[in-house]
Structure 1
Amino acid sequence: MRNCGPSLIKYVLFAFNVLFALSGLGILIAGAIVLADVSEFNHFVEGRVLAPPVVLIVTGLIIFLIASFGCFGAIKESPNLLLTYAVLLAIIFIVELAVGIAASVFKKDLEMMVKNSLQESIKRSSSEDTMAWDNIQRKLMCCGVDTPADWRTISANKTLPASCCQPQYIDTTVGHCLDSPALGKDKYYQVGCVGELKKRIDKNAVILIGVGIGIAFIQLLGIALACYLASSIRRDRSQ
């Protein structure tokens, strides 16, 4: 490495930090997409479900700052700055690892938490609950917590809302299904919303995990590279 000269050291670390900055942009975008998707149903999910994408967005912003710091350390050819850069990468890596572990543990209780939230909401059937249910049933094409029958057994007014009706069967004059039994399989959605909402959250979790693993590998490479370059600079200067 000593024969390569300081200029190559600059180029190597600069190229890495360009990649690192782009990875920060990727993790920020992924977090924003997942947050926008899940927040549509925040009436039924606790804030803990929104925490992982928020953490990723913040991490993405921090990664931009750290990448800039790494470029500065390479330009200055400062072993201390490079080692500080490596420590910052390690801290971010530990934070991401902790979030990943917490998300995995929380995932086990996710379905029960969502189900309880849906059941409490359908029992209240307030105007706010009704709007939230209309939103989730239309977008996820589902009805009730587990089945459409939940509206008959759990809700306050014991009536299926119009959002349970498949769009092609809605009579525009009344805004509801006509000529169908109360729980008619021919016109009402038959899938419960708890399963569909969990699928949506699980799909987003796969995105977050995939992006997180990719970023983790890049960070480990950055830590090793920064430490190696700092050691090389010190070795060159000591001769």
Structure 2
Amino acid sequence: MAVEGGMKCVKFLLYVLLLAFCACAVGLIAVGVRAQLILNQTINQGATAGSLLPVVIIAVGAFLFLVALVGCCGACKENYCLMITFAIFLSLIMLVEVATAIAGYVFRDQVISEFKKDFQKQMQTYPRDNQTVILLDKLQQDFKCCGANNYTDWENILVPKGRVPDSCCMNVTLGCGVHANVTDIYVKGCVEMIGGWLRSRVLVVAAAALGIAFVEVLGIVFACCLVKSIRSGYEVM
């Protein structure tokens, strides 16, 4: 009875961890999707180690959610095969998360470099491409920035000289960027602002992945304990 009572406690703790895994999975998917949307808008030179990181994060989050569901079913039905599958897949996810955290830290500067190069290239097509206008205007408004390095990047691109896109204005109105005062526009560059956003998200995801990996170790231990109990023939309520 003591062993059975101990397994009840382990089963309860495993349920708590499974709920935590589901929440973490949703968080990883949300951060990965947001980062991927930004990269898709600004990096157009194909797959690179840096630009693939959000895809890996989304895949890990989705897989973690499915594995958590498998673990929940296995614990609820006290199914030996499901619990073994859960423990194995959770171990694989843990290894991928640690690798992703390391890769995110290593390639963070490469992502910013790719972003800067493509942003500057898109600025050159801004006067004649409506799609680029929509894209860059949205980025500049959302991140409160102007140009790649700063607002002076638009000096030789738009006419008359010294004009900036209306999206650079703090209060956007039609034609506000034609003779805008520096005090009325965003002066910081989008590379700095968006790059800072990406760096912070990469570091957050890396730290979260390592933290989740630690919790997953507990999940693996509890799952193995439950598997041992099921195999030994104990009835766990």
1:84 paired residue number: 85
| Percent of paired sites with the same residue | 29
2:195 paired residue number: 198
161, 167, 183: which one aligns with 1:163: 167
**When the two structures are superposed, what TM-score results if normalisation uses the length of structure 1?**
0.77
Query: How far, CA to CA, are the matches of 1:78 and 1:40 in structure 2?
Result: 42
2:33 paired residue number: 35
What SS does the corresponding residue of 1:166 show, helix, strand or coil? coil
Deviates more, 1:63-72 or 1:106-115: 63-72
Q: Is the 8 A contact 1:44 1:114 kept in 2?
A: yes
Q: Is the 8 A contact 1:31 1:208 kept in 2?
A: no
What is the 5 A alignment of 1:1-239? 3-5=2-4, 8-33=6-31, 35-36=33-34, 39=37, 42-45=40-43, 51-74=52-75, 77=78, 81-125=82-126, 126-153=129-156, 155=157, 157=159, 159-167=163-171, 172=173, 174-177=174-177, 180=180, 184-231=181-228, 234=231
Deviates more, 1:121-130 or 1:71-80: 71-80
Query: How far, CA to CA, are the matches of 1:178 and 1:8 in structure 2?
Result: 73
**When the two structures are superposed, what TM-score results if normalisation uses the length of structure 2?**
0.78
Q: 1:204 to 1:124 in 2, by over 3 A?
A: same
Count of residues paired in the alignment? 227
1:75, distance to aligned residue in structure 2 (A): 5.0
1:145, distance to aligned residue in structure 2 (A): 0.9
Residues 169-190 of structure 1: per-residue CA shift (max 9 Å, x gap): x5x5x5315765xxx4232321
Deviates more, 1:58-67 or 1:191-200: 58-67
Counterpart residue type for residue 226 of structure 1: A
Q: Which runs of 5+ in 2 are unaligned?
A: none
Q: Which runs of 5+ in 1 are unaligned?
A: none
Query: How far, CA to CA, are the matches of 2:89 and 2:35 in structure 1?
Result: 30
